[in-house]
Structure 1
């Protein structure tokens, strides 16, 4: 069997039931792996799972993989958040995890023969069947995709991921150190879109592209970004929203694995350096009709649909901000002038707004959502985007006038800089309850409240320097 390419993965991922012979076909093509790494993204996008011996790999497609349902009640540090009520209080029951079709691939950076496959969680029922586990973010995205399909619309999606390459050890002050090209003239230089920075780490960047090819991830452009050691990898658009989100979460793992093989670290932290740009996850979304044409590009009707979707995104943005910016650190990224949006705004070919309509021909007309940090969960980010677009379509919302010029100087409503306020807005949102379900809203808010409390209980070094 040939290595899965973008088209094959997209078709395979359309079904949540993997072919029974998928593992056998893999072994025939690549030989038996020593281990199969089964990957289950948790609520925060952290990959959890198991190593399963290659000799038992075929059972993954038959019996599934037993993992506690409560894995979606772990905090960012992997600790149980007891306030969710889904841990020992329930007996800590197992869910059954099924492989996501098309995600069984080699692990090129592994020192020994290894394969990996992504999982999705299901809850056993009393009749011996299974239902999607309501706390698995993958099912939240599937629900929005199904809602759009009922309207005859299908998302076409591309993710862009920014990240920093860091030295393996922190500096004397404990702060991570970005890598610099040999032509660096000092830590303050940006060297945006520099070819010399690409050349300096060409072996690593080429290995990233090659690993993406082997794994069937549709990596497109690689650029040097707006800070020393910062890069961006763009994924080519997918006509399968689920596969696009899978690609994004697997690309983060791939970049991390290849960087470690080269003796460096890759960080998707949203704002690792106060003096440099943060790292974002930009999401490009268009809608196609049943014939595969761009529904945004068809004259007046397409223009109205695009504006409905933009209006829905703006209308729901404050309620869903903590899905786009899920970390304490991520709110530091929302700084005026940083190309990270600070206002609830939209516009044409304007990188200072939250929702941008890029230039391009009608067949490529799309919305670019620019809020999410690189550390956000791709499935939750895309689910919130699609739910917001649906809100605009169903309510026939109209957006305000598009912003022209510097959005940081406009009078648009502001996104909150406060994680606590974002959590409270999410927890009280009727829209979130309708789109994600009241139980998901409850559990997610509790976990983020616990995370925020952990940071607020920590005394930072400046307090000691000032008051001790």
Structure 2
């Protein structure tokens, strides 16, 4: 414990030496809907926390709805006295914030690793899954890919406007994969990539996607699944901030335009043993087939995680590469679970179903549980799309159905935690019902 505290203290002191103009640091954590909450600490107080002073925030901050409201979930929020819960600083995450108008720092905090972790905190859920896999001798290597849209900074009566081409001042109309679009929006994209690298995130490939102002950025592969999810979460925060600095809005909203493709969160996962052997490639890739079968079996029950809001369900089955059934295939982007071509050492799955605004900690936890379940059950998967284009199993396409499918699934309750599953499902149910409590203009047009 003393060694841990001394490492943190050294990190804070080094940061202060390198950034003497920074007076405050945002201590942040991701809640259930995937938003950051936290507190802004004076740098002097942060040094005390690093030295061992308590760091406490309300436990129920994790339960906030999409709009920040609290829902009655069991005894939480209204019958528990709104207690504080201990958090800890995450080593290696203290970095400068370059997109704000004043010098600022940020650092991740979490309840995992404390004496009483919050069972439904997303980072704690993933931590338990990773710890269990490690005890079984399974070591995941993970890489995220995130799609997002750039919009004009100003909304038009609340509706997004196309990003303006900085060279012509017209709406972005460059086609899919057009390298010219990367050049025309190069200034903001370069800043996004450099800012992410300054946060310690390994940015690799940048792609212009099909939608106007839509891009994808890939991250490097990591043998630390938690850190990979940290990267995805922090990238979303920094990208939105950098976009505003350049006069744009960046959004990871799943389906901002009905007529254009939605934005997804693609997750590449390979599994290794302690000696570095790829577990999926053994025995003529039979474990790969078992792992795929497990993913597909649990996928219909994980839809509230992969599609965490009403808008995210709009993304499914609309346009390019968004499936409406649980499916798999080799080098097939129509599949939920794609097997990219690779050598046996790098054999992996690419899970393509989650929306870009899903919670990366929970998405990775759900994928890993599917892989784990498949390796244990050792079942054969359904036919891949390469053999049968109609292959696939149905999954819920509406939130309330999805919540019902998730809440009582025994494997998820066992491997993600029954308390988390109950809390998460009720949070999604209440958020969905709250979303319905507004009559929009179309409803009046149709029924008045």
Q: TM-score range by the shorter chain?
A: over 0.9
Which residue number in structure 2 is paired with residue 434 of structure 1?
414
Q: Which runs of 5+ in 2 are unaligned?
A: none
TM-score, normalised by the number of residues in structure 1: 0.90
Which residue number in structure 2 is paired with residue 291 of structure 1?
275
From 374, 399, 403, the equivalent of 2:356 is 374
Pairing of 1:132-143 with structure 2 (within 5 A): 132-143=117-128
Which residue number in structure 1 is paired with residue 135 of structure 2?
150
Deviation of the 1:20 alpha carbon = 3.4
From 68, 77, 95, the equivalent of 1:78 is 68
SS in 1 for 2:47: helix
Q: Which moved more, 1:425-434 or 1:272-281?
A: 425-434
1:307-365 Cα shifts (integer Å, max 9, x gaps) = 11111000101111111111111000002542112111111000001000011222221
Equivalent residues of 1:160, 1:282 under 8 A apart: yes
Q: Which moved more, 1:188-197 or 1:137-146?
A: 188-197
1:244–1:122 Cα change, 3 Å: closer
1:399–1:183 Cα change, 3 Å: farther
Pairing of 1:30-429 with structure 2 (within 5 A): 30-31=19-20, 33-61=22-50, 62-121=52-111, 130-172=115-157, 174-181=158-165, 191-298=175-282, 300=284, 303-404=285-386, 407=389, 410-429=390-409
Equivalent residues of 2:281, 2:344 under 8 A apart: yes
Equivalent residues of 2:327, 2:391 under 8 A apart: no
Large movers: runs of 4+ above 6 Å: 182-188
TM-score, normalised by the number of residues in structure 2: 0.94
Equivalent residues of 2:28, 2:36 under 8 A apart: yes
Equivalent residues of 1:164, 1:178 under 8 A apart: no
Equivalent residues of 1:17, 1:100 under 8 A apart: no
1:73–1:232 Cα change, 3 Å: same
Q: Which runs of 5+ in 1 are unaligned?
A: 1-14, 124-128
> Residues of 1 paired with 2:54 and 2:336: CA distance?
41
> Residues of 2 paired with 1:155 and 1:41: CA distance?
22
* Corresponding residue pairs, total: 444
Equivalent residues of 2:304, 2:425 under 8 A apart: no
RMSD between aligned alpha carbons? 2.2
Q: Which moved more, 1:390-399 or 1:370-379?
A: 390-399
1:353–1:26 Cα change, 3 Å: same
Q: Which moved more, 1:60-69 or 1:268-277?
A: 60-69
> Residues of 1 paired with 2:247 and 2:47: CA distance?
34
Deviation of the 1:185 alpha carbon = 12
SS in 2 for 1:164: strand
> Residues of 2 paired with 1:188 and 1:195: CA distance?
13
Equivalent residues of 1:18, 1:99 under 8 A apart: no
> Residues of 2 paired with 1:72 and 1:51: CA distance?
17
Deviation of the 1:397 alpha carbon = 2.0
Deviation of the 1:56 alpha carbon = 1.8
